């Protein structure tokens, strides 16, 4: 594990928890995949500190149920559910058109290791949801975000991005598909995107900040909803004995979203062994994720596949 020693600028204090979240009254957060797991815990924590939270969920009934759970705990919570299917770029467009104000976008939703499936636009599902959907959402909300207060984009990845590579010669697994290989591709794409977005925003002179976060090994429905067969059974066993709960797993993205110590371009993850468990700290991404040629190729490819132009020069 690579971390920056506690006490250095921009490094979370040991043991940072939801109790350290400041008052968020007057601020608006969007959390994708907010109806369960890390997303739900993130929405719950933000709403409990006074934020207005837009809980984005693919299933409207599950979204409404999640809002009811939060409001049962925090009766005055300003939280609303809106439909967003990141596997359909048309849904992303409709969702974004309904957003007039947002300060922080948390790109949290994801799918993990399903059988090969394609999105509404025909793209491999993990790449489509985990990367392209969030790329498109960020692009469509960019102008609204720039106008926000202490605006941030938090993109959630995985420590498994260290095993990833971008299969530009077979981006959608049409010739050779591996569930884990295309999951790690999507998680590496998250990191490359977050770092490149940070660089381009700085070049543009905007106050919008791009930060990355990963939850370590956390128990969520990802391990059961995507994998099948032997893989699903193996993940069930390891999750039971090795994973931390979703509330702990959400801390890195909460820290990235609200802490005044966070810096653009950082990756926040757990401080435990191999970044699998623990409290938020600054960790290091795969060095290859900083490669400028890789970043430009992925950015250009993503703009082509989504039909969107961020308007941010690479220079």
Q: Which residues contact 264 (CB under 8 A, 6 or more apart)?
A: 198, 201, 202, 209, 210, 211
Q: Is 183 a catalytic residue?
A: yes
Q: Which residues contact 33 (CB under 8 A, 6 or more apart)?
A: 39, 56, 57, 108, 109, 110
Are 54 and 107 a contacting pair, CB within 8 Å?
A: no
Give the residue carrying structure tokens 């594990």: 1
Report the alpha-carbon distance of residue 77 to residue 60 in Å, rounded.
19
Per-residue pLDDT band at 315 (split at 50, 70, 90): confident
* Average predicted confidence (pLDDT) for the chain: 91
pTM greater than 0.85: yes
Say whether pLDDT at 298 is over 60: yes
The mean per-residue pLDDT over the stretch 11-33 comes to 90
Per-residue pLDDT band at 222 (split at 50, 70, 90): low
Catalytic residue among 123, 177, 182, 183: 183
The mean per-residue pLDDT over the stretch 32-39 comes to 97
Nearest C-alpha neighbor of 213 from the set 253, 245, 261, 185: 253
The mean per-residue pLDDT over the stretch 268-279 comes to 93
Nearest C-alpha neighbor of 264 from the set 315, 183, 204, 218: 204
Domains recognised in the chain with CATH numbers:
18-304 (3.40.50.720)
Give the residue carrying structure tokens 């757990």: 270
Q: Which helix (H) or strand (E) is 53 found in, with range? A: strand 52-57
Of 177-181, 185-189, 237-241, minimum mean pLDDT range:
237-241
pLDDT digits (tens, 9 = 90+) for 226-262: 555 545 344 444 544 456 989 999 999 999 999 999 9
Pairing, β 267-270 against β 280-283: antiparallel
Strand partners, 152: 104, 209
Tokens of 171: 């981006």
303 burial class (0-12, 13-18, 19+ CB within 10 angstroms)? middle
Tokens of 308: 């969107």
Nearest C-alpha neighbor of 300 from the set 220, 196, 207: 196
Q: Which helix (H) or strand (E) is 209 found in, with range? A: strand 209-213
Report the alpha-carbon distance of residue 107 to residue 153 in Å, rounded.
7
Are 77 and 257 a contacting pair, CB within 8 Å?
A: no
Q: Which helix (H) or strand (E) is 44 found in, with range? A: helix 37-48
Per-residue pLDDT band at 273 (split at 50, 70, 90): confident
């Amino acid at each position: 594990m690579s971390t920056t020693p506690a006490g250095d600028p921009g490094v979370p204090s040991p043991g940072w928890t939801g109790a350290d979240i400041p008052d968020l009254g007057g601020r608006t957060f969007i959390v994708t995949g907010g109806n369960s797991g890390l997303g739900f815990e993130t929405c719950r924590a933000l709403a409990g500190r006074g934020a207005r939270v837009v809980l984005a969920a693919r299933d409207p009934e599950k979204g409404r149920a999640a809002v009811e759970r939060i409001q049962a705990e925090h009766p005055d919570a300003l939280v609303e559910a809106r439909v967003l299917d990141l596997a359909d770029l048309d849904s992303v467009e409709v969702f974004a058109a309904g957003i007039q104000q947002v300060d922080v976008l948390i790109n949290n939703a994801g799918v993990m290791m399903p059988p090969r499936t394609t999105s509404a636009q025909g793209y491999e599902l993990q790449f489509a949801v985990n990367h392209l959907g969030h790329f498109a959402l960020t692009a469509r909300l960019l102008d609204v975000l720039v106008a926000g207060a202490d605006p941030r984009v938090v993109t959630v990845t995985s420590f498994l991005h260290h095993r990833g590579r971008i299969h530009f010669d077979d981006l959608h697994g049409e010739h050779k598909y591996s569930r884990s290989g295309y999951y790690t591709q999507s998680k590496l794409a998250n990191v490359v995107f977050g770092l490149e977005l940070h660089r381009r925003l700085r070049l543009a002179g905007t106050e919008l900040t791009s930060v990355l976060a990963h939850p370590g090994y956390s128990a969520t429905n990802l391990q059961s909803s995507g994998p099948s067969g032997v893989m699903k059974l193996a993940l069930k066993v390891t999750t039971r004995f090795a994973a931390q709960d979703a509330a702990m797993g959400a801390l890195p993205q909460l820290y990235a979203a609200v802490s005044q110590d966070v810096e653009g371009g950082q990756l926040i993850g757990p401080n435990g062994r191999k970044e699998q468990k623990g409290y938020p700290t600054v960790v290091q991404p795969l060095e290859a994720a900083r490669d400028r040629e890789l970043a430009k190729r992925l950015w250009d490819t993503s703009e082509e596949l989504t039909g969107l132009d961020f308007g941010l020069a690479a220079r």
